[in-house]
Amino acid sequence: MADKGGHPGGPGRAPEVGRPDGVRNVVLVGHSGAGKTTLVEALLAATGTIQRRGRVEDGTTVSDFDDVEMRQQRSVNLALAPLRFGDVKVNLIDTPGYADFVGDLRAGLRAADAALFVVSAVDGIDGLTRMLWEECAAVQMPRAVVITKIDQARGDFDDTLMTCQDAFGEGVLPCYFPVADGDRVSGLIGLLTQRCFDYSSGERVEREPDPEFLERIAEQRGALIEGIIQESEDESLMERYLTGEDIEVKGLIADLETAVARGSFYPVLTTSVPHGDHPGPVIGMAELLEVITQAFPCPLEHTVPPVTAVTGGPPQRIECDPEGPLVAEVVKTTSDPYVGRISLVRVFSGTLRPDTVVHVSGHGLADRGHEDHDVDERVGALSSPLGKQQRTIAECRAGDVCAVAKLARAETGDTLSDPDRPLLMAPWTMPDPLLPVAVRARSKADEDKLGQALNRLVAEDPTLRLENNSETRQLVLWCMGEAHADVLIDRLSARYGVEVERVELRVPLRETFGGRAQGLGRHVKQSGGHGQYGICHIEVEPLPSGEGFEFVDKIVGGVVPRQFIPSVEKGVRQQMTRGVSAGYPLVDIRVTLYDGKAHSVDSSDMAFQAAGALALKEAATKVPVLLLEPVDEVAVLVADEYVGSVMSDLSSRRGRVLGSESVPGGRTLVRAEVPQLEIIRYAVDLRSMSQGTGTFSRTFLRYEPLPTHLADKVAAEERVD
């Protein structure tokens, strides 16, 4: 490709754009350590957006500016890095590469019009990257691949290219390949231009390729041209090419853009960014920027997600038009104790301006602590973020991304629209958090601040679910994994000054009777004035699992007056919620009231409630009281190669494997019934077992008796407590 690059006006200025076709929104995708953040630094430096490249190891990069990221030396947040190349503004969206932070990654996919898959020539491709490729394929998102770390000792471009072609399928073809001077990569050869771009002097020098590469150029160039013209709208191109006609490079580049935009052709590029023990020139930035600006689609070519009225109704199609109705989406929310709430917003239609009123709509995440809301709010200042730096802008037009201040109610995933025409954008899919982590405040002062801090974290992160379990009296954070939990606890401390500690998660058990028993409840007290008098005889028998509670009235002769029979039932129900042995709710029993006594003056509703509770407690002393544990139906989706390991592991967790079925893409869905006690950490264990490729869902099924040795252990722990 020809070099049509250029620098922006200078560092510190936010690149501006007047038309949607002058924008490219590109999300960087790849596993942790592939080099996404380092690549963003190199691109920013190559375009003059920043004066000097930062280093992940030093905590000086633009993307990783959060305190947690600097300490852990890895990305845990989505970050926006805008730059200008020629006449095009490029919004680079750097995403985390660790599976725990897939929520930010999917938000990046939503905000982007194309995805750049970053693959390390040293480490290859992991399972998460393969899964994300499939997700992009499902929505036909245009993609390209950039191979990094070719300058390192174990970096092998050709092997990595073959791995990409094997993992991502047909259409993955190189546009450039690296050349070396001894042991050091010195430049790239462009297959379309058939030119060598030599970086050995530290500058990009274009020259003729060395003769030794001509055969390889001819072979790979032919495959590349065939891949491009298969997607061309000019049906005569293939015939002209096969007859030996030399196809003009300019026309091939135009067809390359068409092929990439259709999501059926995936150019492969390569870069080298020296650091530490790997000195040398920065290679491949101009080539990568050319592909991004010339081959990636602009927002006009990307279909806007459907919208509906906030009250419902049929989906409406919205065009990417700066003059159209305002439709924007909050793709990321951050809360700062000093600055307040900052919302990263992708504008799909219309133009967003500061100090105007917008309608904020959020629906569909009530189960994760996000109440449905529809409010009008005034927009604060608009800015174009570059790391910590917020650069003020006058407006944000359709197709662009900006940061909005002072939207107090806006949460990640919310829709911003015109108050006179409020709309709701179809939400993107978020994975369910399946790792429960129980926490408690370390002090009374921390407890007072904990609620507000957690509400802010929930507003930022739709992959976090907050649960206040009334049965176990525990505060539970449902997270994506251990790393996700660690970051949340770190943020509570560093950002909000709230110290919490982890505690062992308690699974809500149940109790039931192990046989039939009778109980006498006698509540008789006389202390002057009206006394309390209530006597009842009950019989308790167990019911099948899931039957709940049944109360039977067999009183004859009025020995218990009719008005007090409901009182006995109420007392029994109250005692059932408190339990009769280990303090867990009592379930699946039938209670029959068959006898009792009353006093004409001293009997009352409260007296017979107390009698009913006492009768149930006495009956429990005559038969074994069984502990019941919750059992979930679990569906595990894994690659075929891990099915045996998964089934064996489920069996070792006291699970019953119900069966399996094949799923397209070389995967298998395994269904099983597993006690909740055994899958508390299954989200972590499955990821380890399947190299990050396995996913699962769980649904409560029923309660079953807890094995005796485990029941004895629980009873012993309750006695200690």
- The DSSP secondary structure of 289-346, one letter per residue, reads HHHHHHHSPPGGGSPPPPEEETTEEEEE-----TTS--EEEEEEEEEETTTEEEEEEE
What are phi and psi for residue 325, nearest 5 degrees? -65, 145
What would the mean pLDDT of 318-328 be, rounded to a whole number?
93
- The C-alpha atoms of residue 292 and residue 114 are separated, in whole angstroms, by 9
Instruction: Report H helices in 73-213.
Output: 102-111, 127-138, 157-168
**Residue 2: pLDDT above 50?**
no
What mean pLDDT is predicted for residues 672-686? 95
Q: What pLDDT sits at residue 364?
A: 64
Rounded Cα distance between 283 and 188, Å, is 8
Closest-CA residue to 78 (of 90, 88, 65, 60): 65
pLDDT at 313: 83
Per-residue pLDDT tens digits for 454-482: 988 888 888 999 999 888 889 999 999 99
Evaluate if residue 10 carries a pLDDT over 80. Answer: no
Give residues with Cβ within 8 angstroms of 427, minimum separation 6. Answer: 363, 364, 365, 413
Does residue 663 sit in helix, strand or coil?
Answer: strand
Q: 303, 425 in Cβ contact below 8 A?
A: no
Span 28-41, average pLDDT: 90
pLDDT at 519 (0 to 100): 95
User: Across residues 687-713, what is the average pLDDT?
Assistant: 88
Query: pLDDT at position 719, please?
Result: 54
Is the Cβ–Cβ distance between 359 and 329 less than 8 Å?
A: no
Residue 74 neighbours by CB under 8 Å, 6+ apart: 32, 33, 56, 64, 96, 97, 98
pLDDT band at 365 (very low <50, low <70, confident <90, very high): low
Q: Where are the alpha helices (DSSP H) in 422-502?
A: 444-460, 482-494
| Lateral strand order in the sheet of 401-405 | 373-378, 357-362, 415-417, 327-336, 340-349, 401-405, 382-386, 389-392
- For residue 389, the surrounding DSSP H or E stretch is strand 389-392
- Whether residue 110 contacts residue 331, with contact meaning beta carbons closer than 8 Å, is answered with yes
Q: Please say if the pLDDT value at position 426 is more than 90.
A: no
User: Are the C-beta atoms of 66 and 75 separated by less than 8 Å?
Assistant: no
**Structure token digits, residue 696:** 């699962």
pLDDT beyond 50 at 571? yes
Tokens representing residue 357 in the block: 């009123």
- Answer whether residue 250 shows pLDDT above 60: yes
Binned at pLDDT 50, 70 and 90, residue 17 comes out as: confident
Q: Quick one: pLDDT at residue 18?
A: 73
CA distances (Å), origin 492, targets 409, 438, 497: 20, 14, 6
pLDDT at residue 113, as a whole number: 94
- pLDDT of 139 reads 81
Of residues 17 and 395, the one with the higher pLDDT is 395
Query: Does 501 score more than 90 pLDDT?
Result: yes
Half-sphere exposure at residue 607, Cβ-oriented, CA atoms within 13 angstroms: 25
Per-residue pLDDT averaged across 81-86, rounded?
93
DSSP-based three-state secondary structure for 263: coil
Contacts of 623 (CB under 8 A, 6+ apart): 513, 514, 515, 516, 517
Structure confidence at residue 267 (pLDDT): 93
Q: State the Cα angle at 260 between 258 and 262, rounded to 5°.
A: 70
Calpha distance 413→398 (Å, rounded): 18
Fill in the amino acid letter for 615. Answer: A
Q: What is the pLDDT of residues 302-317, one digit of tens each?
A: 888 889 888 888 888 8
- Please give the pLDDT value at position 511: 93
Please give the full DSSP string across 84-98, using - where no structure is assigned.
Answer: EETTEEEEEEE---S
Single-letter amino acid, residue 533? Y
- Higher per-residue pLDDT: 83 or 263: 83
- Nearest-angstrom CA–CA distance, 622 and 37: 67
Q: Which residues lie across from 630 on neighbouring strands?
A: 703
**Could you tell me what percent of the chain has a pLDDT over 90?**
52
The helix/strand/coil state of 597 is strand
Mean local confidence (pLDDT), 387-414: 89
Q: pLDDT tens digits, residue range 186-242?
A: 889 999 889 999 998 888 999 999 999 999 998 888 888 888 887 766 666 777 777
What is the tens place of the pLDDT at every residue in 621-666? 999 999 999 999 999 999 999 999 999 999 999 999 999 999 887 8
701 φψ region: left (φ > 0), alpha (ψ -120 to 50), beta (else): alpha
> Is the pLDDT at 185 greater than 80, yes or no?
yes
Q: Is 557 exposed, middle or buried (0-12, 13-18, 19+ CB in 10 A)?
A: exposed
> How do the residues of the chain divide into helix, strand and coil, expressed in percent and rounded to 5?
30, 35, 40
- Token couple for 391: 């650069």
Q: What is the pTM of this model?
A: 0.86
Q: Which contiguous run of DSSP H or E holds residue 630?
A: strand 625-639
Q: Whole-angstrom distance between the N-terminal and C-terminal Cα of the chain?
A: 72
> Encoding tokens for residue 517?
């028993």
- Name the CA radius of gyration of the chain, rounded: 32
Of 149-163, 570-584, 599-613, minimum mean pLDDT range:
149-163
Measured over the CA atoms of residue 350, residue 352, residue 355 and residue 357, the dihedral's sign is positive
Structure confidence by residue, pLDDT tens digits, 574-602: 999 999 988 889 999 999 999 999 988 88
pLDDT at 277 over 60: no
What value does the mean pLDDT of the chain take? 88
Strands 549-553 and 589-597: parallel
Instruction: Say if residues 706 and 714 touch (Cβ distance below 8 Å).
Output: yes
Position 144 scores a pLDDT of: 94
Percentage of the chain exceeding pLDDT 70: 93
Report d(CA 646, CA 668) in Å as an integer: 11
Q: Evaluate if residue 360 carries a pLDDT over 50.
A: yes
pLDDT confidence band for 512 (50 / 70 / 90)? very high
Which of 125-134, 273-282, 475-484 has the weakest average pLDDT?
273-282
Choose from 13-27, 127-141, 429-443 the range with maximum mean pLDDT.
Answer: 429-443
One DSSP character per residue, 545-595 reads TT--EEEEE---TTSS-GGGHHHHHHHHHHHHHH-SSSSPPB-SEEEEEEE
- Whether the predicted pLDDT of 717 surpasses 90: no
Q: Can you tell me which residue has the tokens 């003056």?
A: 601
Q: Buried b vs exposed e over 156-186: b needs ≥16 C-beta within 10 Å?
A: bbeebbebbbebbeebbbbbbbbbeeeeebb
Q: Domains, the chain, ranges and CATH?
A: 20-295 (3.40.50.300), 307-425 (2.40.30.10), 440-502 (3.30.70.870), 510-623 (3.30.230.10), 628-718 (3.30.70.240)
Mean pLDDT of all residues in 117-136: 87
Question: HSE-up of 196 (CA within 13 Å, CB side)?
Answer: 19
Q: Are 249 and 222 in contact (CB under 8 A)?
A: no
Model pLDDT, residue 5: 42
